[in-house]
Amino acid sequence: MIKPAFKKIYVILGEQDKENPEWVLQTLSFLYSHINLTSNIYLVSENLSDSMPQVERIRKSINEFLSEHLFARLYVHIVHPAPPSAIDDIKLCYKYLKQSTDKFDQEGYRHQELPRLILLPVLVPDNQVKPIQLIDLLDVLKNSFLLSSLYLNKDTLDLAQDEKLLSLTDKVYYGIGNFGEMTDIVCNLFRQDILDDSLDKLENNDLSMTEPCPDSLIISAQDGNIYCCMDAFLKNESPAKIHGMHSLEELLADYYQQNKSKKDCFGCREKVINFFADSPKSLATDQEIGALLYHFGILRQKSEDDFQAIKNFKQALNLSPIEETDPVYFRLGLGYTKIGHYDQALKAFKSVEIAYQGQYFFHFYKGLCYFGTEDYATALEEFSKALQSEPQHDDQIRILIYIGTCYNNLGKYEQAVDKLEKAKETAGDVKEIYNSLGFSYFKLENYDKSIKNLKMAIQIDPFSAIDYASLGSNYREKGDLNMAIGMYEKALALDPGITFVRENLERLNKNL
Amino acid sequence: MNVLLIEINPFVQETTPISLGYIASFLKSKGFGVKILSIGQNTSLSRSAFQELISTFKPSLIGFSAYQRIMLYLIGLAKFIKSIDNTIKIAIGGPQATFMPSAAFAELPDVDYICRSPGELTLLGIARAIENGTPFLDLSGVSYKDDNNAVFDTPELEGYTDLDRYPSAYLDNVFDYSRMREAIMLTSRGCPHHCIYCYTPHAFKHKISFHSVERVVEEIRWIRKKGVKRFWFADPNISYKPSRLIEILERILKEGLETEMWLQTRADLVTSELLKKMKRAGVSTIAFGLESASERVLSKLGKHITSEKVAEAIRLAQNQGIEVELFTIYGLPYETFEDAVKTLEFVKKNKVRIMGNTNSQQLQIYFGTHMARHYEDYNIRPLNNNRPAYLSIGSQYETDHMGRRELHKIQQMWQANSLDGGKRIVS
């Protein structure tokens, strides 16, 4: 088993430990041996000019590592605010940083491949910056680097409407929180990565979503801690306060052996998707998130967490284009059916009437809703439609049982018997069939047949109190009071809460 | 003695390294301990984990599949391996190695052998020589650099013409089925044609050899049993012998082994009947090589096919509900910008979705191709004459008709028409 490698490392630059000013650099240098052959490092700075000495030291250590290890490839994302007042300084910083990549650019050209060191600016504009200023900066950066990315929040989201600006941009990150707040930025970048990873999984049919996100670390120079994932960062769960190489070894041992901070990766992914559902973003992203929420809804439904499933489906409906909503409405209806909110379920099913008309399961679930609201006549119509729409074998039996039960509830006992006997022929030993037939025959005063069926029900489920009770009633009607009392007593022994049995028993005992 | 085989393709998701699988199975049958390390885009592998693998498995020989795009990775890993244990011998094989000039040894300081003949037999010879303590004695099918850095070329080695003589990587459970998304099958090797841009015909001396139908069906049966439900047939022309393919498909249908399949063949090797059978057996996608829609360009490629024939094959496949992919190339000799645009228009007109393999790519001039040996005759001008000896011209060239600007422009046009932004599945 090969130990996992870190694919992403987020570094919050800034105030350093006075006792150990090179802590971030030492930590990173230690981790180079544990990063993936192709990895991403995000250097998040409050102010690029001020962070340049630190960035430069890290850049040098990266160059050394890459020069020594030709199999390693690093994407270094430099994330920083880009207020109007700093734009000239930012250009100067990048002009300087560009020189450091020349060697790798030449090597890449010689080997007909992308360079092994790629610097990727990620600009965080404030609400004072004008599109033209950003365009100018992006244009300058484009001459030396791959296209830059933008990080926008609600105050700067309008910039995403500028087509010229977008044509100079590789990727737009969307976030919440205040301008330049580094912890918010790191969390939002991390969330974006979880979102991208989840979308990749969906695209590649890797549908479980329970796996941890790609191995990542957050290193904060601000608090001197290392976190094993975003969830741990948000909960301030750092395995150890790290101040030296010895502790880094311990951290890794902890990460590999126990991975303690990763507890609920499925839940974390779901939270992230829901986070984006509520955040400002592009229309295309809306659709992708809608598709993910739909998928998470299905996973929740499979695990019988119908309330969370409904929440996901409702969010998915808000984000999905109209032509993709049919399955979402159907699943939503299914969710409401399962929690007994039949009116809401029927409302959801109504939205997909045209698309799902003729599908047996659609009519079956609609039938269930009407059955649940005790509208047995309409339920019967839907179940009958389901039966005519070529259901699968097991479902056919379920439908027949429901039809029989509807007829029973409508007082049409002969029709009930007709359908339930058919179900019996097809299905064999299903308790519900015998139970319902027992009821139908009882109502038709055919007590022998009723008793025969109820005995079959008990044979399948010897602890069915209601079937003993029904047997008691049959014997009572036949005049066999001792047998009736015996059956009622058995029913009460199994379920002392059946009040009508207790009352019947008292009456019989008095008569005797 | 242990042998580690490494496949690196960091630009796509990890795939089943079928060629290494064959070698692994063959070496295992001869008593060697073998491991395969496949490194894809989604593989998690660090320097320390790789070091741990070498230290614990203790291979005496490490073989790399060499491709043009991964030579830097290969060189870096070879250097790292030697820094861990400089007694480990390193061999490279595969398409980049077969015709790589021996002069490349000068720039591959940590590589000991360049394999030039079929991998199974060549690597077995090397492994046995190492095991005997005479790593450079009595070798065939390789070039090697001895302990004094002297370079030697050895005689060629013929592979088996009956492919069933090679044990099956699948039946021998060489691969980890739990991680396998699709099985890559190689039911035949080689190609008898003469396309001037292709490595395969020259590498296999324009011959083609086959596995028996029985062996192919047995593998399919076993792989399906292991839970893998998608098959990708890497044979260059799977319908080269139509009757053989029909027999395979009929066996699949008879035994209820229908499964999702991708395959490729020449457009003049399909019929409506064959495609119908393919569809029934589970073929979801078929790929044809169009290369260029300009008859003038196409006629000079040695492929002996017309765009009309390709259009007909597309229509026949589409009529059966089989998705079609088209391999196309721009930057071909004699091709003008207008010719290149014509290819794009052909793909669009024939309603082939531009994504995955249908995303066009620039001609790559690889070692071993007719183009690589005679590029000057085609007025190809390499742009970088200072490239390392282990690399061929690749895509760093201009032609008489297309300069870098035109090549870039046609690439952008393909990307603009692509449904997936120009991501290729197979290179």
Q: Which H, E and C letters describe chain B, residue by residue?
A: CEEEEEEEECCCCCCCCHHHHHHHHHHHHCCCEEEEEEEECCCCCEHHHHHHHHHHHCCCEEEEECCHHHHHHHHHHHHHHHHHCCCCEEEEECHHHHCCCHHHHHHCCCCCEEECCCHHHHHHHHHHHHHCCCCCCCCCCEEEECCCCCEEECCCCCCCCEHHHCCCCCCCCCCCHHHCCCEEECCEEECCCCCCCCCHHHHCCCCEEECCHHHHHHHHHHHHHCCCCEEEECCCCCCCCHHHHHHHHHHHHHCCCCCEEEEECCHHHCCHHHHHHHHHHCEEEEEEEEECCCHHHHCCCCCCCCHHHHHHHHHHHHHCCCEEEEEEEECCCCCCHHHHHHHHHHHHHCCCCCCHHHCCEECCECCCCHHHHCHHHHCCEECCCCCCCCCCCECCEECCCCCHHHHHHHHHHHHHHCCCCCCCCCC
Predicted confidence band of residue B375 (pLDDT cuts 50, 70, 90): very high
**Cβ atoms of B324 and B318 closer than 8 Å:** yes
Task: Give the closest of B39, B44, B72 to A70, CB-based.
Answer: B72
Among B100, B135, B153, the domain boundary falls at: B153
Test B77 with A71 for CB contact under 8 angstroms: yes
Average pLDDT on A161-176 reads 87
Test B76 with A72 for CB contact under 8 angstroms: yes
What's the structural domain count of chain B? Answer: 2
Test B391 with A3 for CB contact under 8 angstroms: no
Reported as a single tens digit per residue, the pLDDT across A462-475 is 999 999 999 999 99
Task: Give the closest of B48, B181, B396 to A112, CB-based.
Answer: B396
Among A238, A267, A296, the domain boundary falls at: A267
In the chain, the amino acid numbered A378 is T
Q: State how far residue B244 is from chain A, nearest Cα, in angstroms.
A: 33
The verdict on residue B247 lying in a domain is yes
The verdict on residue B166 lying in a domain is no
Residues of B in contact with A35 (CB under 8 A): 46-47
Reported as a single tens digit per residue, the pLDDT across A97-139 is 998 889 999 999 999 888 999 999 999 998 888 899 999 999 9
Choose from A6, A9, A37, A208 for mutation: most chain B CBs within 10 A: A37
Residue B145, φ and ψ in degrees, nearest 5: -120, 120
Reported as a single tens digit per residue, the pLDDT across B388-404 is 999 999 999 999 999 99
Reported as a single tens digit per residue, the pLDDT across A310-351 is 999 999 998 888 888 999 999 999 999 999 999 999 999 999
Test B73 with A70 for CB contact under 8 angstroms: yes
The verdict on residue A15 lying in a domain is yes
The verdict on residue B175 lying in a domain is no
Q: What is the ipTM of this complex?
A: 0.88
State the Cα–Cα distance between residues A258 and A404, nearest whole angstrom: 55
Task: Kindly state whether residues B186 and B145 are assigned to the same domain.
Answer: no
The verdict on residue A1 lying in a domain is no
Task: Kindly state whether residues B134 and B204 are assigned to the same domain.
Answer: no
pLDDT value at A242 more than 50: no
Test A111 with B39 for CB contact under 8 angstroms: no
Chain B positions with Cβ closer than 8 Å to A:
10, 13, 39, 41, 43-49, 52-53, 68-69, 71-73, 75-77, 79-80, 181, 384, 386-388, 391, 394-396
Task: Kindly state whether residues A356 and A237 are assigned to the same domain.
Answer: no
Task: Give the closest of B13, B45, B72 to A5, CB-based.
Answer: B45
Nearest chain B residue to A7, by CA = B44
The verdict on residue A103 lying in a domain is yes
Task: Give the closest of B41, B44, B181 to A4, CB-based.
Answer: B44
Task: Kindly state whether residues B361 and B217 are assigned to the same domain.
Answer: yes
Residues of A in contact with B41 (CB under 8 A): 38
Average pLDDT on A425-445 reads 89
Task: Kindly state whether residues A55 and A145 are assigned to the same domain.
Answer: yes
The verdict on residue B426 lying in a domain is no
Q: What is the pLDDT of residue A18?
A: 61
Question: Which DSSP string corresponds to A55-106?
Answer: HHHHHHHHHHHHHH-TT-EEEEEEEEE--GGGHHHHHHHHHHHHHHHHHHHH
Task: Kindly state whether residues B146 and B209 are assigned to the same domain.
Answer: no
Test B76 with A215 for CB contact under 8 angstroms: no
Nearest chain A residue to B182, by CA = A204
Work out the percent of chain B whose per-residue pLDDT is above 90.
91
State the Cα–Cα distance between residues B228 and B64, nearest whole angstrom: 26
Task: Kindly state whether residues A169 and A307 are assigned to the same domain.
Answer: no
The verdict on residue B361 lying in a domain is yes
Q: What is the pLDDT of residue A220?
A: 87
Cα–Cα nearest to B284, from B346, B231, B352, B347: B231
Task: Kindly state whether residues A171 and A316 are assigned to the same domain.
Answer: no
What's the structural domain count of chain A? Answer: 2
Task: Kindly state whether residues A256 and A324 are assigned to the same domain.
Answer: no
Residues of A in contact with B71 (CB under 8 A): 111
3-state secondary structure (DSSP) of residue A43: strand
Q: What is the pLDDT of residue A240?
A: 55
The verdict on residue A378 lying in a domain is yes
Reported as a single tens digit per residue, the pLDDT across B260-299 is 999 999 999 999 999 999 999 999 999 999 999 999 999 9
Q: What is the pLDDT of residue A498?
A: 85
Greatest CA separation for chain B: 63
Task: Kindly state whether residues B65 and B127 are assigned to the same domain.
Answer: yes
Q: What is the pLDDT of residue A244?
A: 47
Task: Kindly state whether residues A258 and A293 are assigned to the same domain.
Answer: no
First to last CA, chain B: 34
CATH number at residue B289: 3.20.20.70
Contacts of B223 (CB under 8 A, 6+ apart): B170, B177, B183, B231
Task: Kindly state whether residues A154 and A283 are assigned to the same domain.
Answer: no
Task: Kindly state whether residues A258 and A299 are assigned to the same domain.
Answer: no
Task: Kindly state whether residues A220 and A284 are assigned to the same domain.
Answer: no
CATH number at residue B70: 3.40.50.280
Predicted confidence band of residue B193 (pLDDT cuts 50, 70, 90): very high
Among A220, A241, A267, the domain boundary falls at: A267
Test B384 with A3 for CB contact under 8 angstroms: no
More confident residue, B420 or A199: A199
Cα–Cα nearest to A484, from A443, A457, A454, A441: A454
Report the run of H or E that residue A229 belongs to, with start and end.
none
Test B394 with A116 for CB contact under 8 angstroms: no
The verdict on residue A504 lying in a domain is yes
CB pairs under 8 A between A and B: 77
Choose from B46, B55, B397 for mutation: most chain A CBs within 10 A: B46
Choose from B11, B39, B44, B57 for mutation: most chain A CBs within 10 A: B44
The verdict on residue A490 lying in a domain is yes
Task: Kindly state whether residues B225 and B317 are assigned to the same domain.
Answer: yes
Q: For residue A1, count other CB atoms closer than 10 A to its CB.
A: 4
Work out the percent of chain A whose per-residue pLDDT is above 90.
53
Task: Kindly state whether residues B272 and B351 are assigned to the same domain.
Answer: yes
The verdict on residue B427 lying in a domain is no
Among B113, B137, B153, the domain boundary falls at: B153
Among A219, A248, A267, the domain boundary falls at: A267
Domain that residue B364 falls in:
182-417
Residue A341, φ and ψ in degrees, nearest 5: -95, 75
The verdict on residue A442 lying in a domain is yes
The verdict on residue B194 lying in a domain is yes
Task: Kindly state whether residues A243 and A301 are assigned to the same domain.
Answer: no
Reported as a single tens digit per residue, the pLDDT across B293-325 is 999 999 999 999 999 999 999 999 999 999 999
List, in sequence order, every residue forming a beta bridge with B327; answer none if it has no partner. B289
More confident residue, A211 or A129: A129
Test B46 with A70 for CB contact under 8 angstroms: no
What does pLDDT average to over chain B?
A: 94
Reported as a single tens digit per residue, the pLDDT across B122-166 is 999 999 999 999 999 999 999 999 989 999 999 999 999 999 999
Task: Kindly state whether residues B76 and B219 are assigned to the same domain.
Answer: no
* Length of chain A as a residue count: 512
Domain that residue A121 falls in:
6-267
**Of the candidate ranges A362-376, A416-430, B28-42, B337-351, the one whose mean pLDDT is the lowest:** A416-430
pLDDT value at A207 more than 80: no
State the Cα–Cα distance between residues A483 and A499, nearest whole angstrom: 19
The verdict on residue B170 lying in a domain is no
Task: Kindly state whether residues B283 and B238 are assigned to the same domain.
Answer: yes
Test B71 with A111 for CB contact under 8 angstroms: yes
Task: Kindly state whether residues A351 and A485 are assigned to the same domain.
Answer: yes
What does pLDDT average to over chain A?
A: 87
Task: Kindly state whether residues B196 and B326 are assigned to the same domain.
Answer: yes
Task: Kindly state whether residues B127 and B203 are assigned to the same domain.
Answer: no
Task: Kindly state whether residues A426 and A472 are assigned to the same domain.
Answer: yes
Task: Give the closest of A2, A113, A204 to B45, CB-based.
Answer: A2
CATH number at residue A305: 1.25.40.10
Choose from A71, A116, A204, A248 for mutation: most chain B CBs within 10 A: A71
Nearest chain B residue to A69, by CA = B76
Q: What is the pLDDT of residue A280?
A: 67
> A80-93 burial by CB neighbour count: b if 16+ within 10 A, else e?
bbbbeebbeebeeb
The verdict on residue A338 lying in a domain is yes
* Length of chain B as a residue count: 427
